[in-house]
Chain A
Amino acid sequence: MPNETILLVGTAKGLFILRGGGGKWSIEGPHFPGLAVYSAFLDQRKGRNEMWAAPASWHFGAELCKSTDMGKTWDQPEKRRIKMPATTKKPLENIWQITAGGDSDSLYVGVAPAALFESHDRGETWSLNKGLWKHPHRKQWQPGFGGLCLHTIVTDPKNPKDIKIAISTGGVYQSADGGETWKVTNTGVSAYFMPNKYPEFGQCVHKIARHPSKKKLFFLQNHHGVYRSRDGAITWEEIESGLPSNFGFGLTVSEAGSAFIVPLQKDAERFTCEGKLRVYRTRDEGKSWQPLTKGLPQKNAYEVVLRDAVTSTGNNIFFGTKNGKLFASHNDGDSWKMIEGSLPEICCVKAYTL
């Protein structure tokens, strides 16, 4: 009996929860019908199985909700958990990321406008990370199409003080002291839309991901550019040879160490290259890329895969498209199968092995 996999699929119209094993899937939802869910997370640490999701209403704003019964019911606290302090003079625009901290009780949430919230008591209380909020670069960060979003948080269970984040646009920043101070680490990453193509900061980084066993090896999908870092996300080098385009959003790295991206035609077009839905995989840290097509439509397939809509657990890879198609691979990308074909626009996919 294979282990059960649970997928949290956030869409523009609610959250769907899928459970599967052996190729068969059940689906529940939509939870929060009509609301956009850009981030979700299952906290499995200490066996607690607490589920988090961040529905956002066009009208009434975004909030962080919790389920203690694996998604059957969700709370919506009277006082929202994530609120911009009055001193910031900014309202919360959206919640883009919910991530486990490096220790067993911390959680981090990334939001627009480019802020990090932290909890060190399993999500009971939350506070704004002041070091990042007061960063001197802040006033020069510019919102991208999705707002000024802090969309990626990478933590390290072996070193809880190590936190890496990515902001569009701002780029990669990291803290070695648990979030007290932050340094910018975009060396080598392009910002083609600026007069200086390689500025210290201001890059529109779409996603970064760490290799599962080589802790200093990272991959980065940029707004035009695919990169690798071998020094802990400090300096970056291009790894684009063999790709049909260097534009894209999502990125994941499997347990086997394979990195997966879904290239899109250039910035101005933003759909899968040549109308073919191809996932690209590298198994040699970016020296070469293989197009993965088995089970994926190769004709008139004009899809977009957003920055948090590619994910993996073990060597099971999943991705969802803006056209509402959800795909799975159970063999590190060699072949794919569509699980659902008509969901609302998929904003995020998160996978967990139970």
Chain B
Amino acid sequence: MKVYLSGHLKQFAGGETEVSLPGSFTSVGEALGGLWSLHPALRDRVLDEQGKIRTHVNVFLGDKSVKQANGLETAIDTDELHIFNAVSGG
């Protein structure tokens, strides 16, 4: 599984915007767990305290928005995960 990060997040991933996750995963939540184990600081930035993807963060599995699918339970059917900051702000 390859995870592509927004440039805003690279400071929390050792300066990288692409992270390869070893192993296989059945859900997006499980894959993100693999990401947190490599880069723990990403967790609090991507998820809120209640374990939900932050309002203004989008996670895509391939080209599918996880929020519009089954959230963190979305089944893995491709090997690309993208984490973006949503187009919002002022």
Q: Which residues of B contact A76 (CB under 8 A)?
A: 11-12, 41
Residues 11-47 of B contacting A (Cβ, < 8 Å): 11-12, 40-41, 44-46
Contact present for A60 and B46 (CB under 8 Å):
yes
Docked Cα-Cα span, A262 to B6, in Å, equals 41
B10 within 8 A of partner (CB): no
Q: Of A58, A60, A91, A92, which is in contact with the most chain B CB atoms at under 10 Å from its CB?
A: A60
Residues 75-97 of A contacting B (Cβ, < 8 Å): 76-80, 83-86, 88-92
Q: Could you give, for residues 45-88 of chain A, a 1 whenever the CB lies within 8 Å of some chain B CB and a 0 otherwise?
A: 00000000000011111010000000000001111100111101
Q: In this complex, what residue of A is CB-closest to B84? A: A59
Contact present for B50 and A89 (CB under 8 Å):
yes
Docked Cα-Cα span, A171 to B80, in Å, equals 49
Contact present for B50 and A59 (CB under 8 Å):
no
Taking residues whose C-beta sits less than 8 angstroms from the other chain, chain A's interface range is 20 to 34
B37 to chain A, nearest CB (A): 12
Q: Could you give, for residues 1-43 of chain A, a 1 whenever the CB lies within 8 Å of some chain B CB and a 0 otherwise?
A: 0000000000010000000000000000000000000000000
Contact present for A83 and B44 (CB under 8 Å):
yes
Consensus secondary structure, chain A interface: loop
Given contacts A79-B40, A80-B44, contact A59 B49 (CB under 8 A): no
Q: Which residues of A contact B64 (CB under 8 A)?
A: none
Which of B11, B49, B88, B90 contacts A91 (CB under 8 A)? B49
Contact present for A59 and B86 (CB under 8 Å):
yes
Docked Cα-Cα span, A12 to B50, in Å, equals 26
A143 to chain B, nearest CB (A): 15
Given contacts A91-B48, A91-B49, contact A60 B41 (CB under 8 A): no
Docked Cα-Cα span, A145 to B50, in Å, equals 24
Q: Which residues of A contact B56 (CB under 8 A)?
A: 58-59
Q: Which residues of A contact B54 (CB under 8 A)?
A: 59-61, 91
Q: In this complex, what residue of B is CB-closest to A60? A: B45
Which of B44, B45, B48, B88 contacts A58 (CB under 8 A)? B88
B29 to chain A, nearest CB (A): 16
Given contacts A58-B89, A59-B89, contact A90 B45 (CB under 8 A): no
Q: Which residues of A contact B52 (CB under 8 A)?
A: 91
Q: In this complex, what residue of B is CB-closest to A58? A: B89
B57 within 8 A of partner (CB): yes
A227 to chain B, nearest CB (A): 33
B74 within 8 A of partner (CB): no
Given contacts A12-B90, A78-B40, A79-B40, contact A59 B57 (CB under 8 A): yes
Q: Which residues of B contact A61 (CB under 8 A)?
A: 44-45, 48, 54
Contact present for A86 and B90 (CB under 8 Å):
no
Given contacts A91-B48, A91-B50, contact A60 B40 (CB under 8 A): no
B89 to chain A, nearest CB (A): 4
Q: In this complex, what residue of B is CB-closest to A84? A: B49
Q: Which residues of A contact B41 (CB under 8 A)?
A: 76-78
Q: Which residues of A contact B48 (CB under 8 A)?
A: 61, 91-92
Contact present for B57 and A60 (CB under 8 Å):
yes
Q: Of B11, B41, B48, B88, which is in contact with the most chain A CB atoms at under 10 Å from its CB?
A: B48
28 example contacts (A-B, Cβ-Cβ < 8 A) are as follows: A12-B90, A57-B45, A58-B88, A58-B89, A59-B8, A59-B57, A59-B85, A59-B88, A60-B9, A60-B45, A60-B46, A60-B54, A61-B45, A61-B54, A76-B11, A76-B12, A77-B41, A78-B41, A79-B44, A85-B49, A86-B49, A86-B50, A86-B51, A90-B50, A91-B49, A91-B50, A91-B52, A92-B48
Q: Which 9 pairs, one residue from A and one from B, show the smallest C-beta to C-beta distance?
A: A91-B48, A59-B85, A58-B89, A60-B45, A78-B41, A59-B56, A84-B49, A80-B44, A78-B40
If A59-B56, A77-B41, A90-B49 are given as contacts, then 17 extra A-B residue pairs at C-beta distance below 8 Å, sorted by A number, are A12-B90, A58-B89, A58-B90, A59-B88, A59-B89, A60-B8, A60-B45, A63-B44, A78-B41, A79-B40, A83-B49, A84-B49, A85-B49, A86-B50, A86-B51, A91-B52, A92-B49
